[in-house]
Chain A
Amino acid sequence: MSAVARLTVRLVVVALAVSFASFSLLSAAPGDPAAAKAGFSATPERVAEIRSELGLDDPFLVRYGDWLAGVVQGNFGTSVLNQQPASKLIGDAMPHTVELMILAQIIALGVAIPAGVYSAQRPNGWFDRLAGAVSFGMLATPPFVLGIYLAFVFAVRLDWLPAVATDLPGLLEDPVENLRQMILPALTLASGMVAIYVRLLRTDLIETLQQDFVLMAQSRGYSRRRVLWRHAFRPSAFSLLTATGLTTAGLLGGALIAETLFAVPGVGRLAVTAIFTEDYDVVMGVVLLLSVAFVVTNFVVDALYTVLDPRVRHGSR
């Protein structure tokens, strides 16, 4: 089976399983979307009318089937709040979340790679111990706690950056203002990953640095830097790569927090609002999107493996 076919199968299976599970969960919810849509002053008759309009009286499986059929045709339903298509709401919010996640990964890798490499060169040296202690602290800090500290220091005390990203311009329209508003949420999101990445890279690199081919490279009179980056780094980066894929799933959870804390109009915040307002079509859309994103990310990581490790490429590991 070709890679693309495998990806498609995996996508379909995961998307079906996740959407079915969330659909059941939401069906069991006590709230009444029809009542929510009808508004406070609606008569019971009006609510009942809306119920049947929305197909809420149908059996569970039929409703799931209807929803699924809609999705296949590109119709993710309509927000009960403002009558906009769910797909539009999600589509508008999506770029912000993607940007936030990419920014966070760039920050995390940008900090963790030098820190991990430097730590591994001198295990138990002063830098290694410092990095270890800082990573430890970062792992112990819940994102919302860190976010509050960051907002306090950079937005309140220093007044360098805005504490909320409510009037967020697009990245392409006004990149400077956009980044100014996104940097704190991205840092919040990045901190936990930095700690994980540093630890992984450090461990793997220490091991690689003891390997024969690295010693051989040293014996050929290569500079430290060359040995480290041209010989030891790439074979040590595989765990890091896996982790990057895995944390992307965790990032979605983190984005919920970071977007709420800094009022970033992204998918996470959309989902939080949607759950509170019983706007279930939007919730379902987000959940579906998350599961697809998760599968695709892991697929990309797998593909990157092949680029980085020729042994995988030639199927002989």
Chain B
Amino acid sequence: MAVVDAPTSRTGDRAPGFGRPSMGFIFWLSVTWILLVVLAAALADVVPLRDPDALGVRTGEIERFETPGKNAWFGGDGQGRDLFAQVIHGARPAMVLSAAVTSIGGSLGVLVGVVAGYFRGRTDSVIMGVAEIMFAFPAIILLFAVSAVWGMTMAILIPAMAILAVPGYARIVRGVTIALAERDFVDAARAMGASRSRVVIKELLPLVALPAIAFGFLGFGLVIATEGALAFLGLGLEQRTWGSLIAGGQGLIREAPHLALIPATAMFLTIMAFNYVGDGIRELIDPRPIVVGRKRKADGHDPAISAASDALLSIRDLTTSFPTAGGTVTAVDGVSLDVRTGRSVGIVGESGSGKTMLLRSITGAFPVLGVQRTGRVVVDGTDLLTASPAQRSTMLGTEIGIVSQNPLTALNPVRTVGSQLIEVMRVHREISKAAARARAIESLAQVGIPQPDQRVDMYPHQLSGGMRQRVTIALALANEPRLLLADEPTTALDVTIQDQILRLLSALCEQRDMALVLVTHDLQVVRGWTDDVAVMYGGQIVEAGPTAAVFDDPQHQYTQALLASTPRLDLRPHSRLAAIEGQPPSLVAPPPGCRFAARCTIADDRCRAEDPMPVQIRDREFRCWYPGTGKVT
């Protein structure tokens, strides 16, 4: 085993979270468009337009169905009326209606939502129940019926649509309120004697306002669209609206397409603008940056592929980094590690030391996007970082088996145990379905699952945690790999089951001459079940060697601290445990010098300034300026 020098390469810090620009050019373009439409609605009577009702056939100014051009920008309709003037005038009812519906419906909805979310309980279920029913029935049909019965004036349309808008706002605001009400400051205000309604008004409403306004913009667009739809069905407002213009032009789509297309486009752009602004505001509140980076191929062919090493798994200078909002995290930093056939190696460290990422870097399956790996991960002579996809896939499927941390999440919940076992066999080798099934049952028996012929048809949720872990082991072993990677295979399990699983893993490794890499934070597990150990800290291996030797005589100060912090059964009860003070180092900007220096009891200026050179003494390695018991002067 070797612990190697400082990281070979480090990707430059990427700008955090490059989601879509929410307040960019299009946002302001949308705002401008909205302002223009509002101005048109307000000033239609003031600006020098043609009279929208003046018949061009009489005045001679505009011909019938005149096409858009210099004379009439938007052309003329069947009677030669000026379409531009009509569109400008048509903006007003839409704006008035939307503004009224959005403000009335919106404030009612906010109120209802806050009440439901704050008081919860029966109030909430009644309100949300009613809202649910209102959602269920298509609004357009209700409005259609209302307008058919009572006619279509602003006085009817505004309240009808406002009522229909309430559930939408209520649902959003309720969600926000519930989240807020659980936070401390509301409790604090209550504790200081503020009455319930006071808390609602003074503390919650201001916070709820922004999401409601964002939704209001979306709702504004929806009202315009709904009025248009009603007008289109022949039940629009009495006034001239975009909807009625579209409805009027629709039948003439062949003869004079501009009559329908121009008002339709005006409406489309307006709704789009309102939606975009609403979305922009919403993103202000709820930024969800998805961290992404471009996958880059690890730069390739290194001729110096470890000919010297006879190891089954040989990791050289492996560095794994990925971008986050806070900067590039280098989770594995220049790690080298060899695992020989038949040996078991424990990788131990605190959470966040990079041990799980090290294991994932071998298989290349990460839960985050944009992970970059450099260095080499050679399994049986093939570098997994530079191998072709087909080669890589075969290596992963047949040479490497992996057992995950949490058996409850490691199995596909919607497929039977058997189908998952059969799949892994049939993907990687020629085997009939029946034979694979027989093998699946056999392998379940091998990992100690009773009644395997019945269990094979069960779904993961029908099995206990321990059983599920046995299934993942069976899956890992299905193609008889030579290297088994296990990431804390017992952490999620009951103590009594833990021992069984470890015993099983160990026995299987021995029977099949498999190499095992066992990641764990449990020193007792390492001590009991591994031949060699590598201690990780801050993304690096700080000490490695035969397990017994490292435990008996730890060299690195961190290893010593780690051993000292573990409760031991041979100590007297209530003897004081030494916990390691402080926090692990940042993996975004690790400190210069020894990574453990900040928490080390004997660190000096040298430790803080210079990264310790790795020292190799026979089969042991460590990187510490003051190994062993401390300073030797």
Chain A residues close to B by CB (< 8 Å)? 18, 22, 25-26, 28-30, 122-125, 129, 132, 136-137, 139-145, 148-149, 151-152, 155-156, 163, 206, 210-213, 215-223, 226, 230-231, 234-235, 249-250, 252-254, 256-257, 260-261, 272, 275-276, 287, 290-291, 294, 308-311, 314, 316
B405: chain A residues within 8 A (beta carbon): 212
Q: B301 at interface (Cβ–Cβ under 8 A)?
A: no
A-B CB contact pairs (8 Å), 12 listed: A140-B271, A163-B254, A211-B367, A212-B404, A215-B367, A218-B364, A220-B427, A234-B414, A253-B139, A261-B250, A308-B414, A310-B459
B128 to chain A, nearest CB (A): 16
Residue of B144, B409, B412 near A231 (CB, 8 A) is B412
Q: B594 at interface (Cβ–Cβ under 8 A)?
A: no
B145 touches A25 (CB 8 A): yes
A117 to chain B, nearest CB (A): 16
Give the distance in Å from the alpha carbon of A235 to the alpha carbon of B414 in the complex.
7
Closest A residue, CB atoms, query B485: A219
B233 touches A314 (CB 8 A): no
B462: chain A residues within 8 A (beta carbon): 314, 316
B20 touches A149 (CB 8 A): no
Binds A, one of B36-44, B97-105, B256-264, B575-583: B256-264
Per-position contact with A for B423-439: 1 when CB-CB < 8 Å, else 0? 11001100000000000
Interface residues of B in 96-144 (CB under 8 A from A): 136-141, 144
A221 touches B428 (CB 8 A): yes
Give the distance in Å from the alpha carbon of A136 to the alpha carbon of B278 in the complex.
12
Give the distance in Å from the alpha carbon of A105 to the alpha carbon of B236 in the complex.
29
Give the distance in Å from the alpha carbon of A148 to the alpha carbon of B394 in the complex.
54
B404 to chain A, nearest CB (A): 6
A29 touches B404 (CB 8 A): no
9 nearest CB pairs, A to B: A221-B396, A253-B138, A221-B397, A218-B365, A142-B225, A219-B363, A212-B409, A253-B140, A221-B393
Per-position contact with A for B141-163: 1 when CB-CB < 8 Å, else 0? 10011101110000000000000
Give the distance in Å from the alpha carbon of A112 to the alpha carbon of B267 in the complex.
25
Closest B residue, CB atoms, query A157: B257
Give the distance in Å from the alpha carbon of A204 to the alpha carbon of B293 in the complex.
20
B257 to chain A, nearest CB (A): 5
B402 touches A142 (CB 8 A): no
Q: A148-B253, A222-B393 are in contact. Are A132 and B20 (CB under 8 A)?
A: yes
A176 to chain B, nearest CB (A): 23
A213 touches B413 (CB 8 A): yes
A21 to chain B, nearest CB (A): 9
A256: chain B residues within 8 A (beta carbon): 140-141, 144, 233
Give the distance in Å from the alpha carbon of A221 to the alpha carbon of B384 in the complex.
11
B261 touches A123 (CB 8 A): no
B246 touches A249 (CB 8 A): no
Give the distance in Å from the alpha carbon of A251 to the alpha carbon of B246 in the complex.
21
A145: chain B residues within 8 A (beta carbon): 225, 228, 246, 264, 267-268
Give the distance in Å from the alpha carbon of A163 to the alpha carbon of B254 in the complex.
9
B18 to chain A, nearest CB (A): 7
A261: chain B residues within 8 A (beta carbon): 232, 250
- Beyond A125-B292, A219-B396, 16 additional contacts (C-beta under 8 Å) are A30-B150, A122-B292, A136-B279, A142-B268, A163-B253, A219-B363, A219-B364, A250-B138, A253-B139, A253-B140, A257-B140, A261-B250, A272-B144, A308-B414, A311-B413, A314-B462
Give the distance in Å from the alpha carbon of A304 to the alpha carbon of B16 in the complex.
41
A141 touches B367 (CB 8 A): no
Grouping DSSP codes into helix (H, G, I), strand (E, B) and loop, the A interface class, with mixed when no group exceeds half, is helix
B459 touches A314 (CB 8 A): yes
Residue of B290, B365, B416, B475 near A123 (CB, 8 A) is B290
B424: chain A residues within 8 A (beta carbon): 220
Chain B residues close to A by CB (< 8 Å)? 18-20, 136-141, 144-146, 148-150, 221, 225, 228-229, 232-234, 246, 250, 253-254, 257, 260-261, 264, 267-268, 271-272, 275-276, 279, 290, 292, 360, 363-369, 392-398, 400, 402, 404-406, 409-414, 416, 423-424, 427-428, 459, 461-462, 472, 475
Closest B residue, CB atoms, query A317: B461
Q: Which of B146, B394, B411 has the most CB of A within 10 A?
A: B411
B268 touches A216 (CB 8 A): no
B410 touches A213 (CB 8 A): yes
Give the distance in Å from the alpha carbon of A226 to the alpha carbon of B397 in the complex.
13
A272 touches B268 (CB 8 A): no
Q: Which of A28, A163, A275 has the most CB of B within 10 A?
A: A275
B144: chain A residues within 8 A (beta carbon): 256, 272, 275
Residue of A26, A122, A211, A308 near B409 (CB, 8 A) is A211
Closest A residue, CB atoms, query B221: A140
Residue of A143, A156, A213, A314 near B461 (CB, 8 A) is A314
Give the distance in Å from the alpha carbon of A149 to the alpha carbon of B276 in the complex.
21
A235 touches B413 (CB 8 A): yes
Closest A residue, CB atoms, query B424: A220
A290: chain B residues within 8 A (beta carbon): 141
A219: chain B residues within 8 A (beta carbon): 363-365, 396, 400, 402
Closest B residue, CB atoms, query A230: B423
Residue of A125, A148, A221, A272 near B250 (CB, 8 A) is A148
Give the distance in Å from the alpha carbon of A232 to the alpha carbon of B142 in the complex.
40
Give the distance in Å from the alpha carbon of A136 to the alpha carbon of B146 in the complex.
30
B149 touches A221 (CB 8 A): no
A310 touches B271 (CB 8 A): no
Give the distance in Å from the alpha carbon of A156 to the alpha carbon of B252 in the complex.
11
A249 touches B138 (CB 8 A): yes
Q: A136-B279, A211-B409, A260-B232 are in contact. Are A220 and B397 (CB under 8 A)?
A: yes
B412: chain A residues within 8 A (beta carbon): 213, 217, 231, 235
Q: Which of B148, B150, B363 has the most CB of A within 10 A?
A: B148
Residue of A212, A252, A254 near B406 (CB, 8 A) is A212
B20: chain A residues within 8 A (beta carbon): 124, 129, 132
A140: chain B residues within 8 A (beta carbon): 221, 268, 271-272, 275
